[in-house]
Amino acid sequence: MAIFIASTKSISRSSGQSAVASASYRAGVELEDKRYGKTHDYSKKHGVMSADIILPSALAAANADIDRSDLWNKAEAAEKRKDARVAREWLVNLPYELDEKDRKAIAHQFAQTLADRYGTIADCAIHQPTQKEIDRGADPRNFHAHILFTTRCAEIDDDNLIILTDKASIELSDNKRRSLGMERVSHEIKEVRQIWEQIANEKLAEHNHELIDSRSYAEQGIDIEPQLKMGSVATKLEREKYEQELRKAEKAKAEGKHYEIDKTPATHLGSINEIINERNELVWGAELAANQKVNDFADQTIADLRESKLFIVPAAPKPEYKPSTVSKDELEQAESVIEQIKQVRIQRQIAKEAADKLERDRLAQQKRDIAAQEERERVLEQKEKQQRQLEKERDQIAAQ
């Protein structure tokens, strides 16, 4: 089934980022960065299916035009602060159930909707996982779109050229938005996520696919346990083990032998996450089974009403569904493991808080010791000063 991903982040100078470099990487092209005097060349990047500039409808109607290099160099030039936000990115997951044409259509529709909503210009790049990424364990269904937006509104000047003017409303601080009678930025982002949900679901429903939901699992009432953060070291170890297993399988195949790839995680974190994933699949299967019971009951009720001729309801096409058989023992066993993981997390948090308190106490004591030492040195210096003054007075008396 399709999954919901619609996240946003700022491209900011404070993080060492450049709008030109970001656009070059996402579009897989070579761009000259005039501000920094560099050329970013990602023309050999694989996995870029398309990359298009999308103008607000008002500018498109006026036959305005701008190329990628000019656009993002203007975005950089429009900002004077050294910590300025120079672009905003929206990353959306494109349902693999749709074909390439439909995936591109909904990505462009989403980009156009936001461009018109904020008056900004979008640069929509659609990516697919490369074979190299798939070989490393990436999901081959991971089609997604990186959509870069200017942080400033776009207008046409007297020479019919596109210029970037004021900051878009989504880029304003919460204080500024409040003074203008607007909701917080977090509320704005939630609305944009719902826009993507609506656009994607319209196309999914058109082809009778399952719909996506912008709400979190907690908001949906589904007890999904988040996996532990792996970190760079554990992730590297897992990837190296998988690549080693692939090499063994390829060698065995070349020798005409069969080799079963060992999918056992290489790290303790990987093992825990595998257990969490298995438990989540059981919970999700139970949720689907419960939903199916409700749907079956509703279908039977409608069928009974049709038979009694109380009202006529046209029969709707039903998607194929294979109910999941969930063992109660399996679910209880998984829940037991998850409970142990939760207890470990609690203990870690308690240990961290205790360590933080010890560190705060140590720093406070160090501060007090330094202050006491400074006070002792001040008193000693004062005494030495008084002694020098006394000796000076004695010398003057002796001289007289």
pLDDT at residue 320 tops 60: no
Considering only residues 198 and 317, tell me which one the structure prediction assigns the higher pLDDT.
198
Give phi and psi for 227, each to the nearest 5. Answer: -75, 160
Task: Name the range with the highest mean pLDDT among 157-161, 283-287, 338-342.
Answer: 157-161
- Residue 321 clears pLDDT 60, i.e. is over it: no
For residue 12, give the H/E element and its range: strand 6-12
Averaged pLDDT, 332-348? 67
Per-residue pLDDT band at 365 (split at 50, 70, 90): confident
From the number of C-beta atoms within 10 Å of its C-beta (0-12, 13-18, 19+), residue 14 rates as exposed
Predicted local confidence at residue 318, as pLDDT: 47
Q: Which residue has the higher pLDDT, 309 or 71?
A: 71
> What pLDDT is recorded for position 241?
84
Q: What is the pLDDT of residue 309?
A: 56
Condensed to tens digits (0 to 9), the pLDDT of residues 170-207 reads 999 999 999 999 999 999 999 999 999 999 999 999 99
Q: What is the mean pLDDT of residues 20-26?
A: 96
What pLDDT shows up at residue 324?
Answer: 46
Q: Is the pLDDT of residue 338 over 70?
A: no
The mean pLDDT value for 327-340 works out to 65
Of 12-21, 157-166, 299-308, the poorest mean pLDDT is in 299-308
Mean pLDDT, range 296-315, rounded to an integer: 62
Please spell the DSSP secondary structure of 161-181, one letter per residue: -EEEEEEPGGGS-HHHHHHTT
The per-residue pLDDT for 221 is 65
CA distance linking residue 69 with residue 34, whole number of Å? 9
Average of per-residue pLDDT values in the chain: 84
Assign 213 a pLDDT band (cuts: 50, 70, 90).
Answer: confident
Is the pLDDT reported for residue 166 higher than 80? yes
Q: Read out DSSP for 282-336?
A: HHHHHHHHHHHHHHHHHHHHHHHHHHTTS---PPPP----------HHHHHHHHH
**Extents of the domains making up the chain:** 6-206, 231-347, 348-400
Residue that wins the pLDDT comparison between 184 and 338: 184
User: Where residue 158 falls among pLDDT bands split at 50, 70, 90?
Assistant: confident
What local confidence, expressed as pLDDT, does residue 77 receive?
Answer: 96
Residue 313 confidence (pLDDT) above 70:
no
145 phi/psi in degrees, rounded to 5: -125, 130
Is the separation of the CB atoms in 21 and 40 below 8 Å?
A: yes
| Cα–Cα distance measured from residue 164 to residue 151, given in angstroms and rounded to the nearest whole number | 9
Q: What is the pLDDT of residue 332?
A: 66
User: Is residue 319 over pLDDT 60?
Assistant: no
Q: CATH code for 6-206?
A: 3.30.930.30
- pLDDT tens digits, one per residue of 92-133: 999 999 999 999 999 999 999 999 999 999 999 999 998 888
Q: Three-state DSSP class for 28? A: coil
Least confident of 54-63, 248-257, 300-309: 300-309
